[in-house]
Chains A and B, each alone.
Chain A
Amino acid sequence: MERILRNSEAPEIIPCDFSSPLLFYPIRHHSPVCSFQLVRTIEEYKPDIVLIEGPENANGLIPVLTDENTTLPAAFYYFYKDTKKLVSDDAKDYKCYYPFVYSSPEYNALVSAKKLNIPAKFIDLPYCEILIATAENNGLRKNSDKHSYADDSYLVQNRFYEKICEKTGLRSFEEFWEKYFETAGIFLTPQQFIKQMHTYCRFTRDDVSQEEMIADGTSARENHMAVRIIEAMQEYRRVLVVTGGFHCIGLYNLVNSGKKIKSPRLHKMPETHHGCFPMAYSYEAADALHGYSSGMSFPYFYDCAMKKLLESNSPEGVYNGITLDFLVRTQKEAVKKDIAVSIADITSAHTLMNGLAALRNAKECGISELFDGVISTFIKGERTVSTSIPLDILSKLATGDKIGAIGDKSHVPPLITDFEKNCKKLNIKYETAVPKNIENALFTSAKGMETSRFLHRMDFLGTGFAKMLKGPDLHKNKDRSRVREEWKYRRTPNVDACLIDHTTDGFTIEEACSSVAARKLMSERRCETAAQISVDCFLMGIPMQQAELAQIEDILINDGDFFSVGRGMHSFEILYSLQNLYGFEDKSSLAHLTRCFDKLVSSLPSMANTPPERGEECITVMKYMYGIVGNILSERLDDFRQALITMSEAPAKEPSVFGAAMGILYSIEPERRDDAENAMKGYLRGSPEIKKQGAEYLKGLFGTARDIVLIDDRFLRMTDELVQSMDYEDFLEILPSLRLSFSCFTPNEIQSTAEIIAGMYNSDGGDITDMPAVDERLFFFGEKLDREIFALMGKEDMLE
Chain B
Amino acid sequence: MKLPRLSSFFKGMNLTVFTFVMIFLYIPILILIIFSFNDARIITSWKGFTFKYYAQLWENAAIKEAFWNTMLIAILSTVISTLLGLITALGLENKRLKGRRGFMGLLYAPLVIPDILMGVSLALLFNFLRVNTGMVTVLIAHITFCVSYAVIVIQSRLEDFDYSLIEAAMDLGAKPRTTFFKVKLPLIMPGVIAAALLSFTLSIDDFIITFFTSGRGFDTLPIYVEGTIRRGTITTINSLSTLMIGFTLFLVVFTKRIRKSLISFF
Chain A complexes with chain B: no
Chain A positions near chain B (C-beta within 8 angstroms): none
